[in-house]
Amino acid sequence: MTGYEIDDVPSLELSETEHELLESIGADDAQSLLMAEAIISVSETDEVLGPLSKIAAHQGAGSYHRAFSVLLFDSKKRLLLQRRADHKVTFPGVWANSCCSHPLHSEDELDEVNALGVKKAAIRKLEQELGISPSHFSIEDFHFMTKMRYSARMNETWIEREIDHILIAQVDVELNPNPNEVSEIAWVTYDELEELLLEEEPTNGTIAPWFRCIAARIMDEEWWNAVGDSSALAELADDEIHDMGDVTHMLPEAEGAGLDISVLEVKPLVEQRIMNSLMSSRHERLAAAMTHLIHGGGKRLRATLPWLVGKAVGDSHSGMLDVGAAIETVHNFTLVHDDIMDDDDIRRGRNAVHIEFDLPTAINAGDAMLAIAFERLVQAEGLEATDVAALVNRIAWMVRRVSEGQQMDIEFEDELAVSEEDYIEMIEGKTAVMFLTCAEIGARMAGADQETIDCMADWGLAVGLCFQLMDDLIDVLSDSAVLGKPAGSDIAQGKRTLMVIHALAQPDSDDKTILLAALGKGEEASAEAIEAALAALGNLGSIEYARQRAVEYHAKAHACLDRVPQGPSMRALRELTDFQLNRIS
């Protein structure tokens, strides 16, 4: 095995911003050098993507990377634990397994045959962290057991996102811990570790989330009994990647990230699922039409919402990303057809699908997207077969409610006497029901109790109603460059927004006449007429009325969040609740 000196470890040049970040937290020279190491960026399924600096893998949204966790036993079958040094950049002061670190992006440590790369990395780090001479080990001492995938956030700046390779070794060793890495060590029996895991009030430090996953969810008494027996360990080993989801809640002092970073953690994973599904079409033009709006970007709030809710109220897993991808595909299907029905040429600053391609292709693409969404849904990971029917039924109900809301919206354009109650029913179907469904399903898939599921459904409904009211307001208060479509287009199309309904209910006046002169006139409405109609809405108090109703739903949504336990992941849901309101506050 190739040994490394401190000056020949594969490393990447850090940016000025990264250097400043390390300086700002007081990282010493040794820890800063470690954060420049070139570790192995991987996919969710542990496929190598390339080199990545340790700081890039752990900062902000982070990135999946390959790691290892050594469980080192002595001849008495006691497990070595280490407490990470207090000046470690990530997760300082927590108790973890014997040694946990990362293989480097080098020929030796990329070797996947019999897990040789991670085993060589383990020998290297056991010397660097615990002062154990490599002469104490041979590669055959290490037994690969399994892999696990998890995320654990320390605070908004630092996160672990690993595909962790778990190794077992039984060797009596002499320890000389490196104080820059390790502050304490302890040898524990099976029963002593169980006591540590069950402590409600840790008296001697917190257990690291990844080690708690290993000890509580994967490693059982059979592993301990098999220590020292290579054949028995081989029988217990598997080729799975155990999905732990986001386990931030296992760290009592963890601080959650805001909405933007929380979305960025999983947005690429959801988008990859969407693109893989839509690009599976055998027809190139149809696939291009289906992916046209996806390429236009978007925040992917609906797509990531099952995951965001799930990790806030229970146990998250990758199946939530599959469901989010399915719902986002449904959402984009509705946008394709909405643009046709509303005769909108622009969506997200680019041509609508029926403009970029043609009308029949756009209709066909929307139909295909709906079918593909259900294909993705029934293939979601982590679902029991008995859960699939209920999930399909709930998403089908959502699609039906969206269609009903859209039909009401169409019919309202020819009616002057649309009530506020009718409008709320319409936007509940057209917009809010997707938020409701995402939140409800996320909570249910996370194993939350029925009271919490109902509460999160109420939250999703309130957020969705606020979202649509604010979307209507943004149409009249933002310019065309911000909207990605002509400002005031809702008025030209005759949309019965809450503002228009309120304005039409007012006594006759010059402002009301000005509004009626542009309402529903389509291309006949000049830019000046639309601008005057927007001013009339303000004069009639209709803009402020709609804003106040949005504020009421916003408050109701926060009240729902107040009723569930407050963990680190709740911060993102709070910010999502505020998202639209803040755009024009």
In a domain, 1, yes or no: no
Count CB atoms within 10 A of the CB of residue 460: 27
- Whether residue 205 is found in the same domain as residue 341: no
CATH code assigned at 380 = 1.10.600.10
- Whether residue 362 is found in the same domain as residue 386: yes
CATH code assigned at 86 = 3.90.79.10
- Chosen domain end from 250, 285, 317: 250
pLDDT by residue (tens digit) across 78-118? 999 999 999 899 999 999 999 999 999 999 999 999 999 99
Mean pLDDT of the chain: 93
In a domain, 4, yes or no: no
pLDDT recorded at residue 5: 59
In a domain, 8, yes or no: no
- Chosen domain end from 223, 250, 277: 250
- Chosen domain end from 250, 279, 305: 250
- Whether residue 76 is found in the same domain as residue 221: yes
Tokens of 461: 């409904």
In a domain, 10, yes or no: no
Cα angle value 111/170/130 (rounded, 5°):
75
Domain residues for the domain of 520 are 259-583
pLDDT recorded at residue 483: 46
CB 143 within 8 A of CB 167: yes
CA distance 461 to 458: 5
In a domain, 5, yes or no: no
pLDDT by residue (tens digit) across 388-402? 999 999 999 999 999
- Whether residue 115 is found in the same domain as residue 179: yes
In a domain, 268, yes or no: yes
- Whether residue 478 is found in the same domain as residue 564: yes
pLDDT by residue (tens digit) across 28-70? 888 888 899 999 999 999 999 999 999 999 999 999 999 999 9
CA distance 290 to 294: 8
Place of tokens 């397994």: 97
- Whether residue 430 is found in the same domain as residue 299: yes
**Is residue 585 very low, low, confident or very high in pLDDT (cuts 50, 70, 90)?**
low
- Whether residue 233 is found in the same domain as residue 356: no
- Whether residue 232 is found in the same domain as residue 301: no
In a domain, 3, yes or no: no
Mean pLDDT of 70-82: 97
- Whether residue 451 is found in the same domain as residue 480: yes
pLDDT by residue (tens digit) across 439-489? 999 999 999 999 999 999 999 999 999 999 998 998 888 764 444 456 678
Going by their DSSP bridges, the two strands 65-73 and 159-170 should be labelled as parallel
CA distance 348 to 299: 11
% of the chain at pLDDT higher than 90:
83
CA distance 308 to 258: 11
- E strands present in 23-96: 38-42, 48-53, 65-73, 79-84, 95-96
Tokens of 491: 């008025």
CA distance 316 to 472: 33
DSSP-assigned letters across all residues of 205-258: -PBPHHHHHIIIII--HHHHHHTT-HHHHHHH----EEEEEE-GGGSTT-----
- Whether residue 466 is found in the same domain as residue 501: yes
**Is residue 1 very low, low, confident or very high in pLDDT (cuts 50, 70, 90)?**
very low
For helices 319-341 and 433-445, what crossing angle results, to 10°?
Answer: 170
pLDDT by residue (tens digit) across 265-280? 999 999 999 999 999 8
CA-closest candidate to residue 117, choices 129, 128, 107, 130? 107
- Whether residue 114 is found in the same domain as residue 223: yes
150's enclosing H/E stretch is: strand 143-153
CB 213 within 8 A of CB 148: yes
In a domain, 104, yes or no: yes
- Indicate the number of domains in the chain: 2
CA 506, distance to chain mean position in Å, is 45
- Whether residue 214 is found in the same domain as residue 306: no
pLDDT by residue (tens digit) across 424-449? 999 999 999 999 999 999 999 999 99
